[in-house]
Amino acid sequence: MVCPNCGGNITGKMKLCERCGMNLTQYKKIIYGSNKCYNKGLAKAKVRDLSGAIVSLKNSLELNKRNTNARNLIGLIYYEMGETVAALSEWVISKHFQPEDNEAEEYINKVQCSPTKLDLQNQAIKRYNNALNFAKQGSDDLAIIQLKKVVSLNPHFLRAYQLLALLLIKTGENERAKKTLHKALAIDVSNITTLRYLKELEDSSQKVSEQGEFITNPTSSIVPLSSYKEDKPNIIAYVNLVIGVVIGLAVMAFLVMPSIKKNQNLSNNSDYVDYSSGLAKQEETEKTIKELTNQNNDLKAQIEELQGQIDGFEAPEDSEQYYDTFITTVDYYMNEMAKEDEADRDIRGIAERLSLVDESKFDTEAPATLLSKLKGEIYPKASKLHYDIGHGLYSDGEYEASLLELEKSMEYDPTDVNPVYFTARAYHRLRDYDQAQLFYNLVLSDYPDSKRVKNTNEFLKDIQSAEQ
């Protein structure tokens, strides 16, 4: 502790500063009060009561603005809620008060050293602001589309989930709104706004039940208290994951390695008449072998990484059904990626299975991290496949069928302008001018530097002329 008057070190239970003689009784009470509020905030943060933690930490900083532990923790909480700018602000202030041996410097470096992730978060913030403007203007459909992209770019953006749920409630999609609010609740279990929206949904559903003469049991909401039971490791989930890894290794051994040996035999047994042609083919064969070897090494690395995550993973018994879905999805992914020919891999099927996994049900970080990594690898490929199919259907004049594929492409890769543009063109061809204008405007607002902007402006003028 440092004397606030002269900056001298204070040790033990000294009531007076030995250097300047200042009475330290009130000062120590303030410091202890700040630390007490910090401890409360830390306890609340550990159980994901982020709103309550912020209140306690702000109280701590009001008592002692130099409490860098409290400032660093409130920055981490802001970052977890998707408020990157607020988090960086707190860490910069913390570093100002304590330039050396401060964890805030590490947090700032981690954010700045990942330009891709930082760019995605910036895009999410811009899209959120656009969605907010659309909502204020009454363009709920455009706002909902923007917010879906926001939460796909930053799955921890709490305010985006809340605004999306509010718009879904406004449009009458109560079930989707409730699901969205539960995702927000998984980020912050005590957020007043989220809880208020859920209460409104419950009240509205109760009114519907009363109008339909459906009487609910008044004691149905009472949860009986059960005796304490020691948690047990989920052996079934662990065994299933181990079996999946073994299957992946077996598929690799039976498909990839024979292919490498086969190519080696072909290169050894080939008899070419033309030496120059034979040399070129030999080089091509060696290139193929090298690519297959690299693929084999990549698969081994992925399997080792999955195995490491398996070793440290235990699924709670109460959440077994959610982990079973995730386990089968990982198993399917490993089996498909082990196939030698990329054309035989069911990338779209993997993406569909990944989209059905509800990461809000996970109780640990490991499966959520693995799920995010798999999505980052599979979603761009699946988006490209769906776009190619949708574009082909559009070229054949099957506009309604193309919309289904283009919608999937947009869902898996919100950064690509092409599926958005051809969705607008398909609606234009179907003479659904309202939807066409909606997606044309989306091209102009979200992809202003795209080569599609010029044609989009021309088609918008055609629609306006046709409506007049």
Same domain, 250 and 340: yes
Mean pLDDT, all residues of the chain: 78
Closest to 143 in 3D by CA, of 445, 464, 452: 445
Question: Residue 44: pLDDT above 80?
Answer: yes
Mean pLDDT for the stretch of residues 352-364:
77
Of 296, 330, 345, the residue that ends a domain is: 345
Which pLDDT belongs to residue 231?
Answer: 43
Same domain, 173 and 252: no
Question: Residue 218: pLDDT above 80?
Answer: no
Same domain, 321 and 399: no
Give the position of tokens 């993406």: 351
Question: Residue 256: pLDDT above 70?
Answer: no
Which pLDDT belongs to residue 204?
Answer: 72
Q: How confident is the model at residue 139 (pLDDT cuts 50, 70, 90)?
A: confident
Pick 93 or 342 by higher pLDDT: 93
Which pLDDT belongs to residue 410?
Answer: 92
Q: Is 230 among the domain residues? A: no
Which pLDDT belongs to residue 417?
Answer: 92
Same domain, 188 and 173: yes
Domain limits at 195?
A: 117-211
Which pLDDT belongs to residue 264?
Answer: 54
Of 176, 211, 246, the residue that ends a domain is: 211
What CATH number has the domain bearing residue 69? 1.25.40.10
Question: Residue 42: pLDDT above 90?
Answer: yes
* For the ranges 112-121, 167-176, 330-339, the one whose mean pLDDT is highest: 167-176
Which pLDDT belongs to residue 15?
Answer: 61
Which pLDDT belongs to residue 220?
Answer: 40
Phi then psi dihedrals of residue 411, to 5 deg: -65, -40
User: Which residue spans within 19-59 are E strands per DSSP?
Assistant: none
Q: Is 352 among the domain residues? A: no
Q: Is 68 among the domain residues? A: yes
Same domain, 75 and 159: no
Question: Residue 39: pLDDT above 90?
Answer: yes
Same domain, 152 and 193: yes
Question: Residue 3: pLDDT above 60?
Answer: yes
Same domain, 328 and 394: no
Same domain, 197 and 254: no
* Distance from the Cα of residue 447 to its chain's centroid: 22
Percent of the residues in the chain that have a pLDDT greater than 90, as a whole number: 24
For residues 156 and 132, is the Cβ–Cβ distance under 8 A?
A: no
Same domain, 107 and 49: yes
How far is the C-alpha of 255 from the C-alpha of 261, rounded, in Å? 10
pLDDT (tens digit per residue) in 383-425: 999 999 999 999 999 999 999 999 999 999 999 999 999 999 9
Which pLDDT belongs to residue 25?
Answer: 72
Same domain, 122 and 109: no
How far is the C-alpha of 175 from the C-alpha of 173, rounded, in Å? 6
Q: Is 125 among the domain residues? A: yes
Q: Is 423 among the domain residues? A: yes
**Cβ atoms within 10 A of the Cβ of 8, count?**
13
Of 95, 113, 131, the residue that ends a domain is: 113
- Which residues are paired to 16 by β-bridges? 23
In the DSSP assignment, the letter for residue 451 is: T
Q: Which of 42-51, 87-96, 281-290, 434-443 has the lowest mean pLDDT?
A: 281-290
Collapsed DSSP state (helix, strand, coil) of residue 192 = helix
How much is the pTM?
A: 0.51
Q: How confident is the model at residue 215 (pLDDT cuts 50, 70, 90)?
A: very low
Same domain, 243 and 188: no
Q: Is 356 among the domain residues? A: no
pLDDT (tens digit per residue) in 156-205: 899 999 999 999 998 888 889 999 999 998 999 889 999 998 888 887 76
Q: How confident is the model at residue 233 (pLDDT cuts 50, 70, 90)?
A: very low
Same domain, 58 and 73: yes
Mean pLDDT for the stretch of residues 230-250:
53
Extract long-range pairs of 347-354: CB within 8 Å, 24+ residues apart.
347/378, 347/381, 347/382, 347/385, 348/382, 348/385, 348/386, 348/408, 350/374, 350/378, 350/382, 351/378, 351/379, 351/381, 351/382, 351/412, 353/328, 353/329, 354/329, 354/378, 354/379
Q: Is 251 among the domain residues? A: yes
User: What is the count of structural domains for the chain?
Assistant: 4
Within 8 A by CB and 6+ apart from 362, the residues are: 319, 322, 323, 326, 368, 371
pLDDT (tens digit per residue) in 279-331: 555 666 677 677 767 766 776 676 666 666 555 555 444 444 556 677 788 87
Q: Which of 30-44, 73-87, 366-380 has the lowest mean pLDDT?
A: 366-380
For residues 364 and 313, is the Cβ–Cβ distance under 8 A?
A: yes
Q: Is 355 among the domain residues? A: no
Question: Residue 446: pLDDT above 60?
Answer: yes
